[in-house]
Structure 1
Amino acid sequence: MAVASKESVLANFNNQQAKHFTQTAKFYRKNDKYYAELTHQDKTTTYHIEYTFGHYPLQQFLVKGEKGRYQVLPFSWDSRSKKDGGQRWFAMYSEEDIMPADRLHWQQPLQSWNGMCADCHSDGLTRNYNPTDNSFSSEWDNINVGCLSCHADQRQHAQAYQQGKKQTTHSLVDNSLRYITGAWLRNQGEKVAKWRNQDGSPAKPRNNQFMDACFACHSLRSPVTDGIDANQPFFDQFSPQFLVPPLYHADGQIKDEVYVYGSFMQSKMHQAGVNCLDCHDPHTMKVKTLDNGLCLQCHSPDEYNVQEHHKHPVASAGAQCVNCHMPENTYMGVDDRRDHSFKIPRPDLSQQFDTPNACVQCHQASDKSKDNAWAAKTLKQWHGPAKSLSSSKRDFMRLHIGQMVSIDSHMRIIADTELDDMTRATALFMLSYRQEPLPLAKLASYVTDKSDLIRLALARALNNQPAEQKVSLLKPLLSDKRRSVRTAAAQALVDGPTSVVDSAVFKQAFEELATEHDINSWRGEGRLNQGNLALRQGNMSQAIEAYQQAIVVEPYFDLGYINLADLYRGQNQAKLVAQTLEQGIKAVPLSATLKYSYGLHLIRQKQAHQSVNYFKQAFEIDSANPQYLYALTLAMDNIGHSQKALDMLVKRYADFRGNGQIQQMGMYLAQKLNNRQAYQVFML
């Protein structure tokens, strides 16, 4: 990040113009300052470029917004070479015309530098958000990323050195790197190196805690404190996202913009002790080499860097390790990022679970006939039958795509220590998706699990369980060593019988939770969390105010309307429910969730015929959601359109095979209509 100047601006501001659907832009200089002139629906506004943001492969630009905000312009500069398609202005959402009444519009909170970007692009940044007046007074120590971001405040370190005093460790980076206990060495005949002493004997496990500083920015997470301190553990500052859909594919490969943490934590590399600096330069962050030499630091070239292994011409793209084991996804229009779970391509699993694989991603670009079946057959010819998945891994993938998995099988996933902690923690968190009572006694051992991920997942998994049942289980987590675990436990217990909990311990954890909600309340989700907290405490007026503020802060965030309507429903205020949902549909007309919620409201008001139209609209907007199809066909059956409902289910069942609710609905209608042929469809 830098002040916009001749030295920092990479883009062409020589009266350049860009157009994207209904929006046009002109970029120019005047008196050594940089400006963007944006026109939408015949309204033109000029903005002074205050800061540049990023440099490669794209550069973004910040302009002043309201109440201390800086907003990211909707057009960015592609700083790649012309040969690579760069040196041009482009719209970040290239396939969409983002209108002002959209929460992704550049003037909305989700495009605010203060909340979305700031803490990872400047040293010592604090957002300083004030939830009372919805304003920011963000500050930093250095405008750009520098020493502090990784090494923390070293002033005491410098003073001690100048005074000749004994050095003390400060940051996690210093603690980790002060003592190197071994090296990656391969004994003769081994395919892969292990962490060893110089004599070849096993070395002490590496201290890789410095990666917490890396994960602070290279992860999808929610902050629990304001700013980043390299002295503090990751879980004292952030609550990371698990491998849930739609963020990740069923096998754990990245799908949405989730960065590196979630994928790397699954990998065999992480489990073996590999850290970021084995591949990346500690200061430039670039990989040490762009060829296979990067992987051959540990992997035998005689085994892996040969055509017998990769089956592609030597030095071709297909012979590069990363192209098969770290496939790229493109984010922000031009930013290619590699998956860090280091998967082996499995087109056979792609056929079953709709997961991507490098073979098809590469070959289908030139030959559409080279599909998953072709790739699976080819790999089998090359390397023999694919390795069978463990029952736990297969059940996890089934769970991930919404198929039915018994509670016993679900618990076995969590208990399977052959799986990585990230996968197990995700399965533990996914217990919150289940409707039946959970075997809480079998979860007791996870309270003291050494993995921060596992303890966090436990606290979040039990959030909606009956208060009396979970209090004894979660009570120890209120004093957990990690702040994110403590706040998750406080969230789960806020409506419980806290008289059995040490009042001082709960008070501290609750105050930390309230702070967490406050610092995140600049966006709609943060206000909802405040409202949910008040609701669970029984404070209705405070909950209503928080939900109303969610709509004020983000008027195009559909869940703000839905939560407020649900609260009114609990108070039997049907008129306010209807008004709130109608207001939401007017603001966000393409929200399937709002249409579905309004359909449910109509059902409760005995207006089943009208509800069908809203369920139909919801399913048309989001045709991958089985709940919308279920509600639609149930309502159709309710008004006497059972045959049409059955026809619809038969037609769409292939898309929802394995979904128990859809299957049961289809079988019920087939039995009701005495349609044996249709019944067989749902039995397959």
Structure 2
Amino acid sequence: MAVTGNAPRRRWRWFALAVVLLLAAVVGLLISQQPPGPPAAPAPTPQVPTPARPAPPVTAGFVGSDSCAGCHSEQHSAWRQSQHHHAMAHAGPDTVLGDFEDARFDYAGVTTLFTRRGERYFVTTDGPDGELEEFEVLYTFGLDPMQQYLVDLGQGRLQALSIVWDTRPAEQGGQRWFHLYPDDEIGHGDPLHWTGAAQNWNFMCADCHVTDYRKGFDADKGSFSPAWSELGVGCEACHGPGSQHLAWAEGEHGLADRGLTVLLDERRGMHWLHELERVTARRSEPLLSDREQQVCAQCHSLRSAVAEGYHAGLPLLDFYRPELLSDPLYFADGQQREEVFITGNFAQSRMHAAGVTCSDCHEPHSQALRAKGNALCGSCHLPSNFDRPEHHQHPAGSSGAQCVNCHMPERTYMVIDPRRDHGISIPRPDLGQALGIPDACSSCHSDRSADWAAQQVADWFPQGRWRQPSHASVIAAADQGQPAAQQDLVKLLAQPELAAIVRGSAAQRLNPALGPDQLRALVQGLADKDPLVRLGSLRAFEDAAPELRARFLAPLLEDPLRSIRSMAASQLADVTLPAEQQPAFQRALEEYEAELALHADRASHLGQLGLLRLRQGRVGEAEQAWDRAIRAEPRASGNYLNLADLYRLQGREKAAERLLRDALELMPGDGMLHHALGLSLIRQQQRDAALEHLRRAWELQPENPRTGYVLAVALEPSAPQQALEILRSGMDLHPQDRDLLWAGASFAIRHGQLELATEFVDALLRRDPGDREARQLHEQLGQAVR
């Protein structure tokens, strides 16, 4: 993946678990628990599909792209001009495009100097300690619309400079230096500084910018020995190691598939068939495999590596675990939000469902589109029906008449890099109106409202597909915490015609403890034939009770795909499995531990190791893992939160307080650190000091309902009016948070403010009309008010 330049400061997945652990303590101290719901109905044991695991790949070695040129000169020549070829190169006069003739760039009080000495290139800028230092540029990184530069900070650690050369022509605003975070002032202590983990090539970028990458991290020495077969994305990055293919070409014709590890021949012998009665072409032969899509998705998807060694022909999910559709990565309708690298969007599209592959639109060697403008879409979609004003409702030849501007809207990343959404969906300003998500119409007509755009579409296409229900409404409701959304998620998961990534994304939002319908749907999802549905269903059990995980997840320890097996093992680390399941568990757990070891350079994975060790009851090793994580990345707050909660569990409250105060010295604006310190001080009976930090947490993170809820609970005994004011504000921000609403109702009744209590109870009933306790309270309040 490319180094991202405008992503928000994200929390790691385990950060949420830390918050849950911390808040569990204060809730127990400050409020009584709600009575448990009815027991879940029995659900069937999942039957995981067990296709045979792939045969061991043919032993083949990487031989380099130049070995292909003799027989494939046309393809090799096209590739030489592509972005793939230029993904990474040694710095030199033929590759460096930026101005290194004593050019200067000012940012955040630092003047960076770019210089050249012969055929070597240097940059003088603020280093890890903030002091000016000269670094040699070793590699170029990318080509269009920008070029980044890599330097070595020692111990094999390559970093991407955040000051980047704009390679566009000057008349388009290019031929200049710019910073990836132009609206911030990223200093040397910031996690987003070019010397930090977010801009580390070894983890963030290398896998997709060189061929056959090996990280080579030595955890004991803290150093890298990276290795690769070829700089850039070479022929073998897509076709697999080529030595056996060369042997086939030289006469060993007995080798299967011409000695290739995979044949990318989905388009061979087929064509897009046009028929008189259809306005859209269809494949003359059905698409029976996703080989090509998997090859492209190794880089053109947002995923995490679970093992090294992927090459074309091997199962992608044996080496990568993809991200599903979730905020903040995607909008509720599945549109790209952050840099998600295409595949997740395309997998939702009607084109993908119809058998369209990447190479139907893109020439795979040059990466150029196979036709320009609307002619590309017109190769399948009848122009006489679609490429006319009656369809697109814009003057012919205008920007609005271009198919891609309505069906593949752009979103700009890294300041100047516009990328089209590959969901290839119809504009839905009605969803933008209802859910606050972008739509192509009002994004272009920025002077008009989404209401106006929705009415235009309704007038043009009164019976159009925009009238069809959208999963976006369900996803948005689920993310807002609306109870009714759980049943709607069950229905989404049960619709086989939906894209698997949508079904898997619905599954991961289900709560198996809420009722028999959710549990039954998830159990079926765990056995689904599509791995994305199994993955989403598995993720739904992350916080489930141990007995639920033990009962339903064990079959996935023998899933045919490593990324699912290893995740199942991580979720079963704190349960006791029967003896007959132990061998499968141990094998899958070894795979998960190997995954964590592969990324032992990252605070995120060291933090996950801490959680694993805690689940295993290996408390000392958990503490060591979190301590290493903090040293690896001192400004990753989640590890402080986890370690502080471990100290709490051990009764080491003073140690937790010291740790959190140290963290706040580095990150004074982190609301959850203030929140955790406030809880620690409450447990130490230091109420006034605790309130100071709990107030600060609410000020810094009002988007988290727990900060307001806990502050109000702590204030209520001595300052009930302040508590109610906080809860009233919280109700406006978080109308779906039951704890916050219930506390507001309870406190208002306790202090004789019955009209305010009625407001909170009405909000509870809007959230869930079937909430029996809220209905009873509503009746009691009605009688009291009368």
TM-score w.r.t. structure 2 length? 0.81
Are residue 283 (structure 1) and residue 370 (structure 2) matched? no
Aligned twin of 2:115: 28
**Which of the residues 607, 618, 621 maps onto 2:697?**
618
Note the residue ranges of structure 2 that are not aligned, 5 or more in a row: 1-87, 767-786
Match of 1:113 in 2: 201
1:645 pairs, out of 704, 716, 723, with 723
Give the residue type in structure 1 aligned to 2:420. Answer: R
Deviation of 1:670 after TM superposition, in Å, equals 4.0
What whole-Å deviation, never above 9, does each CA across 1:124-170 have from its counterpart, x for those lacking one?
11111222222210001011211111011011121122124234238
**2:564 corresponds to which letter in structure 1?**
V
Partners of 2:130 and 2:187 within 8 A in 1: no
Quick one: distance in 2 between partners of 1:252 and 1:519? 31
Tell me: CA distance 1:461–1:246, structure 2 relative to 1, closer, same or farther (3 Å). Answer: same
- Which of 280, 287, 293 in structure 2 is aligned with 1:211? 293
Verify: 1:330 aligned to 2:412, yes or no: yes
The partner residue of 1:518 within 582, 588, 597 is 597
Is 1:98 matched up with 2:203?
A: no
Give the counterpart letter for 2:712 in structure 1: T
1:357 is matched with which residue: 428, 434, 439?
439
For residues 256 and 393 of structure 1, do their structure 2 counterparts lie closer, same or farther at Cα, with a shift above 3 Å needed?
closer
Does 2:347 correspond to 1:265?
Answer: yes
Residue 547 (structure 1) shift = 0.3
| CA–CA distance in structure 2, aligned partners of residues 511 and 312 of structure 1 | 59
CA contact (8 A) 1:161 1:167 kept: no
Q: Using a 3 Å threshold, how does the CA distance of structure 1 residues 400 and 173 change in structure 2: closer, same or farther?
A: farther
Q: Distance in 1 between matches of 2:428 and 2:591?
A: 44
Amino acid at match of 2:155: K
The CA distance in 1 between the partners of 2:470 and 2:177, in whole Å, is 49
Give the match for residue 156 of structure 2.
68
Q: Any runs of at least 4 consecutive aligned residues in structure 1 with deviations exceeding 4 A, and if so which?
A: 39-42, 170-173, 432-439
Q: Is the contact made by 2:427 and 2:441 (CA closer than 8 Å) also made in structure 1?
A: yes
Is it true that 1:660 corresponds to 2:738 in the alignment? Answer: yes
CA contact (8 A) 1:650 1:678 kept: no
Q: CA 1:500 to 1:73, structure 2 compared with 1: closer, same or farther past 3 Å?
A: same
**From 533, 538, 562, the counterpart of 2:617:** 538
Contact 1:172 1:212 in 2 (8 A): no
Local SS of the residue matching 1:337: strand
User: Which residue of 2 is the match for residue 146 of structure 1?
Assistant: 234
Counterpart contact for 2:266–2:287, Cα < 8 Å = no
Percent of pairs with identical residues:
34
CA distance in 2, matches of 1:433, 1:555: 36
Q: Secondary structure at the match of 2:366?
A: coil
User: Partner of 2:376 in structure 1?
Assistant: 294
- CA drift at 1:507: 2.0
* 2:666 equivalent among 571, 576, 587: 587
8 Å contact from structure 1 (residues 35, 46) kept in 2: yes
- Indicate which of 497, 509, 523 corresponds to 1:444: 523
Is residue 88 of structure 1 aligned with residue 176 of structure 2? yes
Q: Distance in 1 between matches of 2:176 and 2:325?
A: 35
Report what 1:455 is aligned to: 534
Measured in 1, the distance between the counterparts of 2:649 and 2:300 equals 41
Alpha-carbon displacement from aligned partner over 1:648-681 (angstroms, at most 9, x marks no partner): 4444544433343443344334444424267337
Quote the Cα distance in structure 2 between the aligned partners of 1:209 and 1:627.
45
Equivalents in 1 of 2:135, 2:381: separation in Å? 52
In 2, distance between residues paired with 1:448 and 1:47? 53
Distance 1:93 1:433, change over 3 A: farther
Compared with structure 1, are the counterparts of its residues 661 and 5 closer, same or farther at alpha carbon in structure 2 (3 Å cutoff)? same
Aligned partner letter, 1:529? Q
Contact 2:487 2:517 in 1 (8 A): no
Q: Secondary structure at the match of 2:628?
A: helix
Shift of 1:7: 0.3
The answer on whether the counterparts of 2:712 and 2:723 sit within 8 Å (CA) in structure 1 is yes
1:330-373 C-alpha deviation (Å, 9 max, x unpaired): 11111111111122222221122111111111111xx2xx1212
Structure 1 pair 435–183 and aligned structure 2 pair: CA distance change class (3 A)? same
Cα distance in 2 for partners of 1:291, 1:252 equals 25
* Cα distance between partner residues in 2 of 1:26 and 1:438: 63
What residue number does 1:226 align with? Answer: 308
Corresponding residue number in structure 2 for 1:575:
654
Where do residues 227-246 of structure 1 align in structure 2 (5 Å cutoff)? 227-246=309-328
Partner of 1:200: none
Q: Distance in 1 between matches of 2:591 and 2:412?
A: 37
Residue aligning to 1:489: 568
- How far apart, CA to CA, are the structure 1 residues paired with 2:126 and 2:217? 30
Which residue number in structure 1 is paired with residue 101 of structure 2?
14
Of the three residues 176, 185, 191, the one matched with 2:273 is 185
Give the drift of 1:473.
2.0
**One-letter identity of the residue aligned with 2:616:** Q
CA contact (8 A) 1:460 1:492 kept: no
Q: Is the 8 A contact 1:568 1:577 kept in 2?
A: yes
Deviation at 1:288, TM superposition (A): 2.1
CA contact 1:413–1:427 (8 Å) conserved in 2: yes
Q: 1:56 aligns with which of 139, 144, 166?
A: 144
C-alpha deviation, 1:544, in angstroms: 0.5
Name stretches of at least 5 consecutive residues in structure 1 with no aligned partner: 197-202
Q: Report the secondary structure of 2:257's partner residue.
A: coil
Deviation at 1:551, TM superposition (A): 0.4
Structure 1 residues 153 and 662: CA distance shift in structure 2, 3 A: same
Query: Is the counterpart of residue 311 in structure 1 residue 389 in structure 2?
Result: no
Moved more, 42-51 or 217-226: 42-51
Separation of aligned partners in 2, 1:479 and 1:24: 56
Alignment of 1:469-508 (within 5 A): 469-508=548-587
Is the contact made by 1:172 and 1:209 (CA closer than 8 Å) also made in structure 2? no
Q: TM-score, normalised by structure 1?
A: 0.93
Residues 408-417 or 447-456, more deviating: 408-417
Question: CA–CA distance in 2 between the matches of 1:268 and 1:460?
Answer: 26
The CA deviation string for residues 222-274 of structure 1, in whole angstroms up to 9 with x for no partner, is 10012532231210110111111111111111111111121111111111211
User: Post-superposition shift, 1:418?
Assistant: 3.3
Aligned residue type for 2:203? G
Q: Which has the higher contact order (CA 8 A, sep 6+)?
A: 2
SS at match of 1:502: helix
- 1:199 aligned partner: none
Amino acid at match of 2:238: C
Distance of 1:88 and 1:270 partners within structure 2: 39
CA contact (8 A) 2:428 2:439 kept: yes
- The CA distance in 2 between the partners of 1:607 and 1:433, in whole Å, is 38
Cα 1:660/1:341, change in 2 over 3 Å: farther
Residues 1:162 and 2:250 are matched in the alignment: yes
User: One-letter code of the match for 2:274?
Assistant: R
**Which shifted more, 417-426 or 456-465?**
456-465
What CA distance in whole angstroms lies between the structure 2 residues aligned with 1:297 and 1:666? 60
Q: What's the secondary structure of 1:28's corresponding residue? A: strand
**Paired AA for residue 270 in structure 1:** H
1-structure distance, mates of 2:102, 2:561: 52
Q: Distance in 2 between matches of 1:442 and 1:161?
A: 51
Query: How is 1:372-391 mapped onto 2 (pairs within 5 angstroms)?
Result: 372-384=450-462, 387-390=466-469
CA deviations 1:410-467 (Å, max 9, x no partner) are: 3222222232211111121223697779854443333331101112222222233233
The farther-off stretch of 629-638 and 324-333 is 629-638
Report if aligned partners of 1:403, 1:660 keep a CA contact under 8 Å in 2.
no
- On the 8 A contact 1:128/1:226 being kept in 2, the answer is no
C-alpha distance in 2, partners of 1:389/1:632?
43
Q: What is the deviation of 1:397?
A: 2.6
